[in-house]
Amino acid sequence: MKSTRKGLRDGELDKDNYGRLTCSVCSTTLKKANDPDEIFSVRSCPDCNQEWKELR
């Protein structure tokens, strides 16, 4: 699982004017899942099922 920062650098993710992350493959806004025991949250694309880690 890559980080969101690396996904942005590699062109897999796009960021809009409001700071929302979107998948560049299917242009869908990423969903966010928070696990209270982890220091990162998981961002996932509901259409193509890819996941990225995002530090909180």
**Per-residue pLDDT tens for 10-43?**
999 999 899 999 999 999 999 999 988 889 999 9
Domain around 10: 2-55
Q: What is the pLDDT of residue 1?
A: 85
Q: What is the pLDDT of residue 35?
A: 87
- Written as one string, the DSSP assignment of the chain is -EEHHHHHHHTSEEE-TTS-EEETTT-PBPEEEE-TTSSEEEEE-TTT--EEEEE-
The model scores a pTM over 0.85: no
Domain count across the chain: 1
